Amino acid sequence: MSAQQRRAAVLGSPIAHSLSPVLHRAAYGALGLDDWSYDRFEIDEAGLPAFFGRLGPEWAGLSLTMPLKRAVIPLLDEVSGTAAAVEAVNTVVCAADGRRVGDNTDIPGMVAALRERGIEQVESAAILGAGATASSALAALARICTGEVVAYVRSEARAAEMRQWGERLDVEVRVADWADAERALHAPLVVATTPAGATDALSHVVPERPATLFDVLYDPWPTELAARWSAYGGAVVSGLDLLVHQAVLQVEQMTGRAPGPLDAMRKAGERALAER
């Protein structure tokens, strides 16, 4: 491999569904980085240390998905404040001096996706769900929400986790039972962080004049909730918007080239989803 050739990849398990190779390769093409490659590797927590041990100087960086976002932290030389706040790293930059630096681009990616739709600040918000993505959503809301965030969850254990994240991120969080999730739809901003199908029943109770829905899913798309929301004239931010914005930030960090080619990456992602 020549000195000019650089490598990057996405790691996780399962990984076959990942759109990251499509997005990053589109970025390299738009930036004229013909000597760059981007692959995917099926890696679980047990296999991660060995993979890191094989990384050579040609590596520019890694994208990480589940279940590696927390498992990678002990393998890094430095972790950004953003990633440390939610104990989740989705980006590793391999520095020229050999150091491996972890960051989380999901959080600023969420903020950027909302800003693109004109959402700079909200007085309150609601989160549907309480998994790993919900903690990133809370961290994003810490930057744009001036008031209360209500999290709708299914168990007391999840409720306790969301309260802890709220305290840690300095966000005013009130926890409510999932049985009352219909109330969430009246918030100025609703962030749905649940798995496919989990919010389908809520599509039948969307208010006549909904505000903004950020649904982190992108395949299948649209979700039933997003489709009804859009039909009623509400603004919808999709999981693809999030995926593209966080990937743009990854490309900028790994290549040192900014701004990243947002439009080229989004079009590549849309084409890939249309072909599925």
Using only C-alpha atoms, the chain has a radius of gyration, in whole angstroms, of 19
Residue type, 229: W
267 is catalytic: no
Given a contact cutoff of 8 angstroms between Cβ atoms, the answer to whether 167 and 135 are in contact is no
Given a contact cutoff of 8 angstroms between Cβ atoms, the answer to whether 163 and 175 are in contact is yes
Cα angle 235, 236, 240 (rounded to 5 degrees) comes to: 150
Q: How many whole angstroms separate alpha carbon 132 and alpha carbon 147?
A: 22
Task: Find residue 238's DSSP bridge partners.
Answer: none
What lies within 8 Å, CB to CB, of 195 at 6+ separation is: 217
Given a contact cutoff of 8 angstroms between Cβ atoms, the answer to whether 227 and 203 are in contact is yes
Task: Find residue 9's DSSP bridge partners.
Answer: 39, 62
* Helix pair 239-255, 106-116: axis angle to 10 deg: 120
Indicate which residue of 69, 100, 245, 266 is catalytic.
Answer: 69
E strand map for the chain: 6-12, 36-42, 59-64, 78-79, 91-94, 100-103, 125-128, 149-153, 173-177, 189-192, 212-215, 235-237
Given a contact cutoff of 8 angstroms between Cβ atoms, the answer to whether 128 and 191 are in contact is yes
Residues with catalytic annotation?
69
